Amino acid sequence: MGKIRVAECPNCGEILAFYANYKTKQCTRCGKRFDVLKSKIYGVFDNALKASEFVKKLKYSRKNARKYS
C-alpha cells in the first residue's frame, strides 16, 4: 500500500485524500481536474486511516472557524 496525500482542490477548496504518486486528481466535489503539485498540500500519511482522520479534523475546524467568524 502506498502513501496517502491530503491536498486542497484549487477550484472549490474541497479537501481530498488520494495516493501520493498521483500527478493529477479529479475533484469529487466540483469535477475539475487539477495538478496535484500546484495545489495546497496538507501532508503525506503512511495509511488511509490516518489521512481520513486528518481530513475529518481539518474539515471540522474549517466549519467551526466559519461559524464563529
What kind and span of H or E run contains 26?
strand 24-26
Strand pairing category for 24-26 and 40-45: unpaired
What pLDDT score was predicted for residue 22? 97
* 16, 63 contact by CB (below 8 A): no
pLDDT at residue number 63: 83
pLDDT score of 68:
67
CB 25 within 8 A of CB 65: no
Per-residue pLDDT at 1: 65
- Which band of pLDDT confidence, cut at 50, 70 and 90, is reported for residue 65? confident
Residues 60, 13, 17: CA angle, nearest 5 degrees: 70
Query: Cβ neighbours of residue 56 under 8 Å, at least 6 residues apart?
Result: none
Reading the block at residue 8, the C-alpha cell is: 486542497
Per-residue model confidence as pLDDT tens digits over 28-63: 999 999 999 999 999 999 999 999 999 999 999 988
